[in-house]
């Protein structure tokens, strides 16, 4: 069982009455909108009921991943937005991804590189020019197949793969994760004979981490995806009640909205393990794209502590009081290293000799909460039992549901992204795209 605890230690400082009393009515309406499918964006609620770990679909993803592991030393995942950020988050959290030279040796799983989420030539050239002695497989992920960043990256990678392996073998090394019935990528797959996995029609990109979109790359990287899904199931049961006093997920959504109404326009997601960097990017897309519309929305930003206490920490402590923090803390990281003694105590730190680094990290965490709250910055806390698949699955679901509810409380549709089209239209005009409607 996975355990995640939400808390708000200095609540009384920022809201004196009964938060549940004030918000329960709105929460009930938002909850009904989600669970009865009567809210805005009701065609995109497929994530609400997590995929069963024992389903045929999960078995199929695992088989596909096994095949990739047999074929390849490296998996190139081509996708943008929700088509890469969730998998990246999970892999960085649960494998020692910071130290790429050593991953394959240690875990015996292919290394996963993400491409197609930018238009940088040097980025793609650097990856491809360094795969000489590696066997390669590709997972291209796109609902439409025409989003320009992944579509161009796929053209380049496919061309490279064909030159290396020949057309027939190349096709056997490509898995397309795409729409079940339509789109350019599905057509590509049919013509060239790629294996395919399905992006459910009723799940938007930023809610797709626990579908084939995120599950295949995570499975290839060696994560136990059934456990991820069990964690999401834990969460779906635990956060099923509309009662704010009982539902930690909804409490988080309510606090965000309360603080936003009080002028807290920036939310800082803070973590004390650097492995959360990719997770923070996933979270920023989830909330930024879901809420940033109609002139509304909290600006989602992230920090790594204690690193950034020597950077943005000054701003948090003494800058404008327009922000709040959501702090992630892992209770059991499963790793410790002891501080050695030094003869002569040259740096005056022998009082910590024999103590663990995690012990010190915990004091930094507690000391920072106290410091920031005394500086009038509200801190919302999310304590995560440990860093394993079950807890990470739980955490993904926690934020997905909190985001959906939070969007409804804010009065926006948390499932659309109309503003993403604007730059594309200008770009197509500049690129001279044929048949473009003026």
Q: How far is CA 372 from CA 31, 266, 272, 319, 377, in A?
A: 32, 15, 15, 11, 5
Closest separation between CB of residue 361 and a second copy, Å?
A: 4
Cβ–Cβ < 8 Å for 151, 145: yes
- If one asks whether residue 108 binds a second copy (CB under 8 A), the answer comes out as no
Residues of span 241-280 touching a second copy by CB under 8 A: 265-266, 272-275
* Cα–Cα distance for residue pair 196/289, rounded to 1 Å: 27
Q: Which stretch binds a second copy (CB under 8 A): 223-231, 238-246, 365-373, 388-396?
A: 365-373
What does residue 264 show for φ and ψ, rounded to 5 degrees? -85, 95
Interface residue with a second copy, options 10, 20, 172, 360 (CB under 8 A): 360
Q: Of 136-155, which residues contact a second copy (CB under 8 A)? A: 145-146, 148-149, 151-152, 154-155
Q: Which CB, 16 or 337, lies closer to a second copy?
A: 337
Question: Is residue 284 within 8 Å of 300, Cβ to Cβ?
Answer: yes
Asked if 165 and 131 touch (Cβ cutoff 8 Å), the reply is: no
Please report, in angstroms and rounded to a whole number, the separation of the first and last CA atoms in the chain: 55
> Contact between 405 and a second copy (CB under 8 A)?
no
Tokens 């084939």 belong to: 212
Closest contact distance (angstroms) between CB of 175 and a second copy is 17
Q: Which part of the chain contacts a second copy (CB under 8 A), choosing from 21-29, 61-69, 219-227, 294-302?
A: 294-302
| Residues 131, 74 contacting (CB under 8 angstroms) | yes
Q: Give Cβ neighbours of residue 50 (< 8 Å, ≥ 6 apart).
A: 210, 229, 232, 233, 236, 393, 397
**From candidates 81, 204, 242, 393, binder to a second copy by CB under 8 A:** 81
User: How many residues appear in the chain?
Assistant: 438
Please tell me whether residue 301 binds a second copy under the rule CB under 8 A: yes
State whether the Cα torsion 160-161-164-168 is positive or negative.
Answer: negative
For residue 126, state whether it binds a second copy (rule: CB under 8 A).
yes
d(CA 259, CA 295): 17
How many CB atoms are closer than 10 A to CB 383?
14
Q: Which of 87, 89, 127, 409 binds a second copy (CB under 8 A)?
A: 127
Q: Which of 1, 201, 237, 364 binds a second copy (CB under 8 A)?
A: 364
Of the candidates 230, 225, 2, 221, the one whose C-alpha atom is nearest the C-alpha of residue 95 is: 221
Backbone angles phi, psi at 283, to 5 degrees: -60, -40
The CB-of-333 to a second copy minimum distance in angstroms stands at 6
The residue from 372, 390, 391, 401 that contacts a second copy (CB under 8 A) is 372
Applying the rule CB under 8 A, the residues between 314 and 353 that interact with a second copy are 314-323, 333-337, 339-340, 342, 344, 346-349, 351-352
Catalytic one of 182, 424, 429, 433: 424
Stretch that binds a second copy, among 8-16, 43-51, 281-289, 391-399 (CB under 8 A): 281-289
- Specify whether 289 is catalytic: yes
* C-alpha–C-alpha distance, residues 164 and 101, integer Å: 24
Tokens of 69: 């592991």
Residues paired with residue 139 on neighbouring β-strands, in sequence order? 77, 175
Q: Which of 28, 262, 306, 383 binds a second copy (CB under 8 A)?
A: 306
Quote the least distance from Cβ 30 to a second copy, whole Å. Answer: 20
Site size toward a second copy (CB under 8 A) is: 129
Residue 424 bears catalytic tag = yes
Which part of the chain contacts a second copy (CB under 8 A), choosing from 78-86, 213-221, 249-257, 396-404? 78-86
Binding residues for a second copy restricted to 148-207, rule: CB under 8 A: 148-149, 151-152, 154-156, 158-159, 184-185, 187-188, 191, 205
Identified binder of a second copy from the candidate list 1, 125, 201, 237, rule CB under 8 A: 125
* ∠ Cα 226 5 330 (to 5°): 70
The CB-of-277 to a second copy minimum distance in angstroms stands at 10
Stretch that binds a second copy, among 28-36, 49-57, 213-221, 371-379 (CB under 8 A): 371-379
Q: Which of 281, 289, 291, 389 is catalytic?
A: 289
Identify whether the C-beta of residue 290 lies closer than 8 Å to the C-beta of residue 414.
yes
Residues noted as catalytic: 289, 424
């Amino acid at each position: 069982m996975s355990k995640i605890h939400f808390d708000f230690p200095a609540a009384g400082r920022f809201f004196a009455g009964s938060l549940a009393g004030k918000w329960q009515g709105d929460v009930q309406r938002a909850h009904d909108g989600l669970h009865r499918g009567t809210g805005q964006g009701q065609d995109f609620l497929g994530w609400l009921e997590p995929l069963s770990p024992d389903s045929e679909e999960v078995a199929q993803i695992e088989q596909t991943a096994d095949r990739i592991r047999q074929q390849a030393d490296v998996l190139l995942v081509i996708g943008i937005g929700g088509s890469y950020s969730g998998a990246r988050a999970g892999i960085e959290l649960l494998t020692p991804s910071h130290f790429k030279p050593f991953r394959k040796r240690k875990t015996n799983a292919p290394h996963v590189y993400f491409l197609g989420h930018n238009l940088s030539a040097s980025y793609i050239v650097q990856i491809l020019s360094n795969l000489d002695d590696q066997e390669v497989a590709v997972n291209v992920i796109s609902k439409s197949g025409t989003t320009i960043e992944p579509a161009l990256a796929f053209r380049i990678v496919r061309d490279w793969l064909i030159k290396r392996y020949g057309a027939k073998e190349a096709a056997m090394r490509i898995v397309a994760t795409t729409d079940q019935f339509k789109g350019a990528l599905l057509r590509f797959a049919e013509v060239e004979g790629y294996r395919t996995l399905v992006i459910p029609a009723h799940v938007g990109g930023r809610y797709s981490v626990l579908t084939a979109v995120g599950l295949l790359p995570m499975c290839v990287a060696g994560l136990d995806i059934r456990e991820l899904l069990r964690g999401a199931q834990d969460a779906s049961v635990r956060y099923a009640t509309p009662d704010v006093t009982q539902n930690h997920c909804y409490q988080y959504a309510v606090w965000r909205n309360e603080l936003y109404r009080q002028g807290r326009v920036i939310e800082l997601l803070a973590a004390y393990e650097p492995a959360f960097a990719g997770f923070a990017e996933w979270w920023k897309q989830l909330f930024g794209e879901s809420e940033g519309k109609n002139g509304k929305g909290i600006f989602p930003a992230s920090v790594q502590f204690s690193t950034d206490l020597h950077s943005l920490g000054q701003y948090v402590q003494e800058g404008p009081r327009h922000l709040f923090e959501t702090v992630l803390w892992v209770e059991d990281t499963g790793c410790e290293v002891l501080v050695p003694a030094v003869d002569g105590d040259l740096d005056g730190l022998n009082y910590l000799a024999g103590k663990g680094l995690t012990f010190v990290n915990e004091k930094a965490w507690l000391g920072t909460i106290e410091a920031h709250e005394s500086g009038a910055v509200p801190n919302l806390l999310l304590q995560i039992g440990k860093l394993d698949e079950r807890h990470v699955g739980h955490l993904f679901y926690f934020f997905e549901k909190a985001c959906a509810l939070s969007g409804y409380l804010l009065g926006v549709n948390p499932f659309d992204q109309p503003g993403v089209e604007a730059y594309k239209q200008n770009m197509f005009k500049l690129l001279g795209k044929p048949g473009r409607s003026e």
